[in-house]
Amino acid sequence: MDIIEIDSSDSEDDFGFGSESPERLLNDIRTIPSMTTGLSHQKPQNASMRPNFDGRLDARRNDVTNRSENGVSGPSSFAGGNAVDTSTKFKPPQFMEEKFRSKNSLESGDGFHRNANRMLPSSFMHGNSVNNLQPLGISDGQKHLGVGADRQMEGDERHIYQEALQNLAQPRLEDDLPDGFLTVPLLRHQKIALAWMVHKEKSTLCAGGILADDQGLGKTVSMIALIQKQMPQQLKFTSDDSNCVKPEALNLDEDEDVVEVDKTHLQSGGNDGKREQVANLVMQTSHNSRPAAGTLVVCPASILRQWAQELDEKVPDASKLSVLVYHGGTRTKSPSDLARYHVVLTTYAIVTNEVPKQPIVDDDEGEQKNFDKYGISPEFSANKKRKQTSNGRNNLKKKGKKLKDSHLDSDSGALARVRWFRVILDEAQTIKNHRTQVARACCGLRAKRRWCLSGTPMQNSIDDLYSYFRFLKCDPYSVYSSFCAAIKYPISKNSSSGYRKLQAVLKTLLLRRTKGTVLDGEPILKIPPKSICLTQVEFSQEERDFYSKLEADSQQQFKVFAATGTLRQNYASILMLLLRLRQACDHPLLVKGLRSDTVGKYSFDMAKQLPREMLINLFNQLEGSLAICAFCNDPPEDAVVSMCGHVFCYQCVSERLTGEDNQCPAPSCRDVLGTDSVFSHSTLKRCISDNFDDEASTSSTYDEQIITHSGYISSKIKAVLDILKSIANPCREAALMICGSDSNASASNHTSTHLNSNAEVLEKAIVFSQWTSMLDLLELSLNECPIQYRRLDGTMSLMARDKAVKDFNTDPEVTVMLMSLKAGSLGLNMVAACHVILLDLWWNPTTEDQAVDRAHRIGQTRPVTVSRITIKNTIEDRILALQEEKRKMVSSAFGEDQTGSHAARLTVEDLKYLFNCFSD
């Protein structure tokens, strides 16, 4: 077993003020005539949070927190504000650079680089050629928009440009709540977030934004602080009678009501009777109007209760918020009921069911043309998946949808029948694919202020970001063609300047800090370090033979698709081939279709009764090119097909089967899903072949039979058992075995010292796999050991999941938690664990990061060890390489280097260039 240790202790980072001082930024900006006026007349954003801006502009060095009368502190600089460092070299990611590197690069040698029309800032030139560069305003990317649309977009971008310039000069502000509104003091980075969010909610561009702090930095608490801080405005909105009865045609997004705060609410401790008044007023509204309601939080079902708990625990009784958990079959149908509460918590599934979907963006044509041009990981473009799965079906569905959308309210639920003051999407990456039902439903929610919370907003491609722009209604990028012209296309043409433009845009609406972010020389969060060990295991000889055969078959199949020019049409089949190879790395039995789950169990009897022809049809649906999960729109993991012919991930559908929202999510399909009407691959196969025996025990060679039964302990399972046993027996050898090579003595010493000093306290581990059947197999082995464990996966009810988490967090005897990546990687607080073991690799690394951060977050008191177990010389090596590329893309988009720090600082020159210098 090879163990490679990667020291991932997050490196230094800052909020953007690099070597450049804010004085210099201001001076630079003053040289732009049209901006000088704007800045010199800039008013403090809010009287209640006016900074003590006493002329010291270098916020990083002179940051003195001054508490003013109302408890507000400042000055500081907006974390979202840009640093400017003209000397900083932006290094584009290698893979993008190579893709787009031109043969004839031009360099003038004078620090600026000329193209046909203008000088380019030297910071764009490092490592890049320029002969492809055009002034962005008239670039190819915009040509296809047409003259009118082009002008419109340029007009809209001017606002973004001006906001970006203002950000450069914006001092970093902090804000806080008076005593009595939270049970915990806000951490400094949360105070900065609060000031930024209050500011953003007043923005005329789009009221809201993206809080993209790393997992575990306390975004939930920051958001609760915002709700409390802005409660007077919320109450004003909900209690305004005229507001309540405005007709349907009301354009909420123009309905900006930045009203001066009625501070008596905050200063008097909050519960001043106004909240009750609101409910009464709302009750008076007619049935046809949309009542004005408070804040809606949308999150995955698995963290619904955690939100409720945080709202309960972090808000003291004196200023309690009324909270409704809007979930379950008995939930109210009355919009007025929703409007009674300050905060309504619900799930993405319910939003998808209740809110009319916005139409699908009609981007096929453009996308088709751009696949080759852009080169932005098209293999993983969600759009591509859809294209491969459409076969004309989507057009029909789309037409049906449009018809349906024309009478929106007739079948929409209560969530869609109110006007929200604020909508918060937690784990907002859920809507990253803008074509999915969930994304379109979220965009259909009516709200004045909109927020996305995500530690990993970008996972697969630049397209992920479009969905947020659309939800936030951030013009001009909320229109897909404008997004492509202004952001996506420039990146494809020249990754360096393209990414820098994206960074400039993002800094106007996104705030991101990592765990390594440094504030005034101090890390924003002092938690023990995290070390990541890549444990590369060898297959046994039987496993290797099994894998090699599978690989050869897959390659053969792939060659056939390639030779017949049908790779695209067979996209889903290719994913299936890859899936089997990945599963073979975990345990050969996964490939053979182990089914010990409830879905298989209950539907097998039903399947036996179905006509053979129907079984074959269902089987073809499952195997065919339409196999994309109708819930998450990803290639299905552990695919199952419903009686209505729609395909899902086993876990996605199981989650619904245990809840009340069991309607099929496919467009125009209202079938009710049940445990007996959802069929797995192996169930169908066995029924079609009239072979009701366990498939694994037949059709196999002798060698295969040795390894394709549940009693076989695969190499991966052996590896994880070794690690778990060594955690259960802490000693120096064990520590070295988990973590270490001599080459990284410091991390190993760290672990062993720690183990010694806590020898009496059993350490805990979370084990993640993306396949529940792998967790089943691991369970069989754990049952043989004296290790107590719990399990969490998507098939369990919310109550059962809560109990499992609670047991793990509180019972010292329970030392292992088995979690499915899909159900357990988001939102949960599990700092009881200081070991995380990843049994298999996911396509994008951010999903793994999310999983790891269940343990590595505020509240963790011990160093966290992450073990990633892979098999040597398999597809897993290639997934590792792909993950690396995705990391580069994400860090380029956010302007972070490989260590998470901000490598590239934007300058005023950069902005002028990136936005085609509107002020020139």
- Least gap, CB of 425 to ligand ATP (angstroms): 12
Q: Total binding residues for ligand ATP by CB under 6 A?
A: 20
Number of CB atoms found within 10 A of residue 260's CB: 11
Tell me phi and psi for residue 648, to 5 degrees: -140, 160
**In 207-303, which residue ranges form alpha helices assigned H by DSSP?**
219-229, 231-239, 241-244, 263-267, 274-283
Q: Is the Cβ–Cβ distance between 460 and 385 less than 8 Å? A: no
- Burial of 3 from C-beta contacts in 10 A (0-12 / 13-18 / 19+): middle
- Least gap, CB of 453 to ligand ATP (angstroms): 7
Helix %, strand %, coil % of the chain (to 5): 45, 10, 40
Told to check if 183 binds ligand ATP by CB under 6 A, we report no
Interacting residue with ligand ATP among 49, 165, 192, 217 (CB under 6 A): 217
Q: CB under 6 A: which stretch of 46-54, 122-130, 208-216, 470-478 binds ligand ATP? A: 208-216
Between residues 20 and 853, which has the closer beta carbon with respect to ligand ATP? 853
Interacting residue with ligand ATP among 75, 455, 665, 824 (CB under 6 A): 455
Between residues 857 and 912, which has the closer beta carbon with respect to ligand ATP? 857
Residue 599 parent element (H or E): helix 598-609
Between residues 515 and 587, which has the closer beta carbon with respect to ligand ATP? 515
Three-state DSSP at 896 gives strand
* Alpha carbon distance 770, 710 (integer Å): 18
Residue showing tokens 């909320």: 478
Q: Is the Cβ–Cβ distance between 647 and 628 less than 8 Å? A: yes
Residue 732 half-sphere exposure toward CB, CA atoms < 13 A: 4
Told to check if 359 binds ligand ATP by CB under 6 A, we report no
- Least gap, CB of 226 to ligand ATP (angstroms): 12
Between residues 173 and 177, which has the closer beta carbon with respect to ligand ATP? 177
Interacting residue with ligand ATP among 219, 449, 754, 856 (CB under 6 A): 219
Between residues 336 and 860, which has the closer beta carbon with respect to ligand ATP? 860
Q: CB under 6 A: which stretch of 186-194, 402-410, 486-494, 496-504 binds ligand ATP? A: 186-194
Q: Is the Cβ–Cβ distance between 474 and 126 less than 8 Å? A: no
Q: Is the peptide bond before 665 cis (omega within 30 degrees of 0)?
A: no
* Alpha carbon distance 414, 404 (integer Å): 18
Between residues 755 and 855, which has the closer beta carbon with respect to ligand ATP? 855
Q: Is the Cβ–Cβ distance between 716 and 871 less than 8 Å? A: yes
Interacting residue with ligand ATP among 215, 554, 680, 683 (CB under 6 A): 215
Q: Is the Cβ–Cβ distance between 305 and 263 less than 8 Å? A: no
Provide the token pair at 189: 């980075």
Told to check if 857 binds ligand ATP by CB under 6 A, we report yes
* Alpha carbon distance 441, 114 (integer Å): 46
Told to check if 389 binds ligand ATP by CB under 6 A, we report no
Interacting residue with ligand ATP among 444, 588, 827, 863 (CB under 6 A): 827
Three-state DSSP at 711 gives coil
Provide the token pair at 912: 């002028």
- Least gap, CB of 198 to ligand ATP (angstroms): 17
Between residues 224 and 338, which has the closer beta carbon with respect to ligand ATP? 224
Told to check if 853 binds ligand ATP by CB under 6 A, we report yes
Between residues 432 and 905, which has the closer beta carbon with respect to ligand ATP? 432
- Assign 3-class secondary structure to 713-770: CCHHHHHHHHHHHHHHCCCHHHHHHHHCCHHHHHHHHHHHHHHHHCCCCCCCEEEEEC
Tell me phi and psi for residue 356, to 5 degrees: -60, 140
DSSP structure class, residue 884 = H
Interacting residue with ligand ATP among 213, 337, 542, 909 (CB under 6 A): 213
Between residues 184 and 614, which has the closer beta carbon with respect to ligand ATP? 184
Q: Is the Cβ–Cβ distance between 538 and 874 less than 8 Å? A: no
Told to check if 778 binds ligand ATP by CB under 6 A, we report no
Handedness of CA 307, 310, 316, 317 (dihedral sign): positive
Interacting residue with ligand ATP among 18, 80, 218, 366 (CB under 6 A): 218
Interacting residue with ligand ATP among 461, 769, 829, 867 (CB under 6 A): 829
Residue showing tokens 């959308």: 405
Told to check if 855 binds ligand ATP by CB under 6 A, we report no
Q: CB under 6 A: which stretch of 30-38, 215-223, 467-475, 695-703 binds ligand ATP? A: 215-223
- Least gap, CB of 764 to ligand ATP (angstroms): 16
Q: Is the Cβ–Cβ distance between 518 and 524 less than 8 Å? A: yes
Interacting residue with ligand ATP among 688, 858, 882, 917 (CB under 6 A): 858
Interacting residue with ligand ATP among 186, 415, 720, 818 (CB under 6 A): 186
Told to check if 85 binds ligand ATP by CB under 6 A, we report no
- Least gap, CB of 310 to ligand ATP (angstroms): 6
Residue 894 parent element (H or E): helix 875-894
**Whats the size of the chain, residue-wise?**
920
Between residues 217 and 235, which has the closer beta carbon with respect to ligand ATP? 217
Q: What angle do CA 913, 93, 849 make, to 5 degrees?
A: 115
- Least gap, CB of 847 to ligand ATP (angstroms): 12
DSSP structure class, residue 540 = P
Site string for ligand ATP, 399-438 (x = CB under 6 A): ----------------------------------------
* Alpha carbon distance 270, 627 (integer Å): 52
Q: CB under 6 A: which stretch of 278-286, 490-498, 739-747, 852-860 binds ligand ATP? A: 852-860
Binders in 277-336 for ligand ATP, by CB under 6 A? 310
Q: CB under 6 A: which stretch of 20-28, 214-222, 230-238, 634-642 binds ligand ATP? A: 214-222
Interacting residue with ligand ATP among 47, 155, 859, 873 (CB under 6 A): 859
Interacting residue with ligand ATP among 220, 346, 769, 844 (CB under 6 A): 220
What is the contact surface with ligand ATP in residues (CB under 6 A)? 184, 186-187, 190, 213, 215-221, 310, 455, 827, 829, 853, 857-859
